[in-house]
């Protein structure tokens, strides 16, 4: 066992003394040492129950004959960080999480690993660590937050973000505003819709790195506790039989994850996270792979922000196994961390309520929920959640309104300076330019809340999975690298054609060349982690990984 390095032999007397200081007894030294990376904290709603899940994991490890060692992992709440400089740290925290788990596991020679986490950057960082370390491992994801209802409809955190614009537009009064504030996030768990947190939990299960139904079982449920305990038991078996993540996760597993993403119309942030996770396994995922799979994969599930359904309804519909069962021909029959193949799990899938999963013969759309666009404005590509765009905005041409920061754009939107037919351009928001590629839910939510019908938004930053409408992110190259988005001026015509996968600024090449000669790229004075990050991070089309 790897852990023999710290517990066997005369030379390890001091090591054993230190381990006895934390409660080990003599016969524990013959057992596998299992690390538990626990992202519990009391600021992220999705993490509030992770202490309970971790206790269940510990019980499972002990029951199976292992020794659990728990350590902490940071977690940033994207919702609380949204709309101010704090959001610049959210995506970069993914690398800190991966590095810190690697450091703890390698320093203490754990034989196996369980990661217990939830939410946007935490799960991707944990999966990056699992594949980088390649020791027996399993993921336990925290699960979704149930939704409350107002006026007979589910309300989610998206509703709360849009409420500010609704209030500004005079559509709701102060009492209704407070009602949304009090009921749009009423429980623990990852925010209710198909935002990045729940998308990544679903893709983790699809790739075979977590147990069946783990991704959709609600936060705080007894079912989630049982899954956690069984996962603790399972990791000890993985160590016994030396089954490692790279024995489970293949290129086909990542194709399965992308397929699932397209079927459900998941968050555009997966286009950043899946390539970063794949890279740790030596697998290259480029943007063309996402679009290739999107073109041939039907859209079968519509969940908030694209509809009023939440992950709770998906769970009642049979979750990931039922989606695979209904779309079996679109998935590779890969193995999973519990030892069963994907088709075997799907065969046993069951529904507990009215299904929101369409049959492949009656899809919501013939193509997947995410599209990759190219053009002179995005020579290396950009991303849009096409499933959340109305039919009449699939093709759109509008006038550019250009902003060099998110704050400038919000002030203009809420100040009534945006008109129907505009394309809001927010630049210097990319991995290097911001730095940290912040999500921008406030501008998109404000546009939706104010009731605009024909306003698009493009950025070299990114969007929350709660975003809906014609919002295009990940413009690459970004403005800070001299991408054409840095050359756009107010009044330029911008043409967006989602079915044709095109995005262009309608300015001739001579004018673009003349503007480039005068371009002065904006630079920020930076210190600390973001200063290092901005120098090392790759482009968004490469997953914004550190080089």
Known catalytic residues are 464
Contact 211, 237 (CB under 8 A): no
Tokens of residue 315, six digits: 């769970």
**For residue 87, what is the DSSP state?**
G
CA 196 to chain CA centroid, Å, is 3
Pairing of strands 112-117, 137-141: parallel
User: Tokens 């060692």 appear where?
Assistant: 69
Q: Are 82 and 441 in contact (CB under 8 A)?
A: yes
534 contacts: CB under 8 Å, gap ≥ 6? 431, 432, 435, 526
Q: What's the distance, CA 166 to chain centroid?
A: 27
Please check whether residue 196 is in contact with residue 269, taking contact to mean a CB–CB distance below 8 angstroms.
Answer: yes
- Which residue has tokens 């030892």? 339
In contact, 438 and 406? CB cutoff 8 Å = yes
Separation CA 303–CA 369 (nearest Å): 11
Do residues 62 and 32 touch, judged by C-beta distance below 8 A?
A: no
Residue 67 bridge partners (DSSP): 33
57 touches 229 (CB < 8 A): yes
524: its two tokens:
């920020």
Residue 474: which H helix or E strand, with range?
strand 471-476
CB atoms under 10 Å from CB of 13, counted, come to 8
DSSP H helical ranges for 241-269: 245-248, 251-264
Structural contact between residues 69 and 419, judged by C-beta atoms closer than 8 angstroms: no
513: number of Cβ within 10 Å: 10
Contact by Cβ (8 Å): 187, 219: yes
> Tokens standing for 56?
């269940």
Q: Are 79 and 73 in contact, with CB atoms under 8 Å apart?
A: no
Which residue is associated with the tokens 């090449």? 509
Task: Judge contact between 424 and 455, C-beta under 8 A.
Answer: yes
């Amino acid at each position: 066992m790897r852990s023999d390095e710290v517990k066997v032999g005369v030379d390890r007397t001091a090591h054993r003394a230190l381990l006895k200081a934390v409660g080990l007894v003599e016969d524990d030294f013959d057992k596998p040492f299992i690390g538990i990376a626990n992202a519990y904290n009391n600021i992220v709603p999705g993490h509030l129950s992770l202490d309970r899940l971790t206790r269940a994991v510990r019980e499972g490890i002990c029951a199976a004959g292992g020794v659990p060692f728990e350590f902490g992992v940071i977690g940033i709440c994207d919702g609380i960080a949204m709309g101010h400089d704090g959001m610049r740290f959210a995506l970069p925290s993914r690398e800190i999480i991966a590095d810190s788990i690697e450091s703890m596991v390698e320093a203490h020679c754990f034989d196996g690993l369980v990661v217990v986490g939830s939410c946007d950057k935490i799960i991707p960082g944990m999966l990056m660590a699992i594949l980088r370390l390649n020791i027996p491992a399993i993921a336990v994801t925290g699960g979704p937050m149930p939704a409350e209802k107002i006026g007979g409809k589910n309300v989610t955190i998206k509703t709360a973000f849009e409420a500010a614009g609704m209030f500004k537009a005079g559509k709701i009064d102060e009492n209704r505003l407070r009602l949304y504030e009090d009921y749009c996030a009423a429980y623990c768990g990852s925010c209710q819709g198909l935002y990045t947190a729940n998308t990544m939990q679903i893709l983790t299960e699809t790739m075979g790195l977590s147990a069946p139904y783990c991704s959709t079982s609600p936060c705080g449920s007894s079912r989630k506790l049982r899954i956690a305990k069984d996962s603790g038991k399972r990791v000890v078996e993985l160590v016994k039989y030396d089954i490692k993540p790279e024995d489970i996760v293949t290129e086909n597993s990542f194709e399965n994850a992308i397929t699932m993403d397209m079927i459900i119309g998941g968050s555009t942030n997966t286009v950043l996270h899946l390539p970063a996770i794949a890279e740790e396994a030596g697998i290259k995922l480029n943007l063309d792979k996402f679009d290739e799979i999107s073109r041939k994969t039907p859209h079968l599930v519509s969940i908030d922000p694209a509809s009023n359904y939440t992950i709770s309804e998906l769970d009642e519909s049979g979750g990931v196994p039922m989606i695979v069962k209904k779309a079996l021909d679109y998935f590779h029959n890969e193995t999973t961390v519990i030892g069963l193949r994907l088709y075997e799990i799907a065969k046993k899938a069951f529904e507990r309520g009215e299904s929101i999963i369409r049959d492949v013969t009656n899809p919501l759309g013939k193509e997947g929920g995410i599209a990759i666009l190219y053009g002179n404005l995005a020579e290396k590509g950009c991303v849009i959640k096409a499933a959340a765009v109305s039919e009449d905005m699939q093709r759109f041409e509008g006038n550019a309104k250009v902003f060099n920061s998110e704050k400038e754009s919000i002030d203009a939107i809420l100040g009534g300076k945006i008109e129907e037919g505009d394309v809001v351009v927010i630049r210097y928001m990319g991995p290097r330019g911001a730095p940290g590629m912040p999500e921008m839910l406030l501008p998109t939510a404000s546009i939706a809340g104010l009731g605009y019908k024909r306003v698009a938004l493009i950025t070299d930053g990114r969007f929350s999975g709660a975003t809906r409408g014609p919002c295009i992110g990940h413009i690459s190259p970004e403005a800070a690298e001299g991408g054409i988005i840095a050359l756009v001026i107010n009044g330029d015509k911008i043409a967006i054609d989602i079915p044709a996968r095109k995005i262009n600024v309608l300015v001739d090449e001579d004018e673009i060349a003349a503007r480039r000669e005068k371009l002065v790229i904006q630079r920020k004075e930076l210190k600390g982690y973001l200063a290092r990050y901005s120098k090392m991070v790759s482009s968004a089309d490469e997953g914004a990984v550190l080089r």
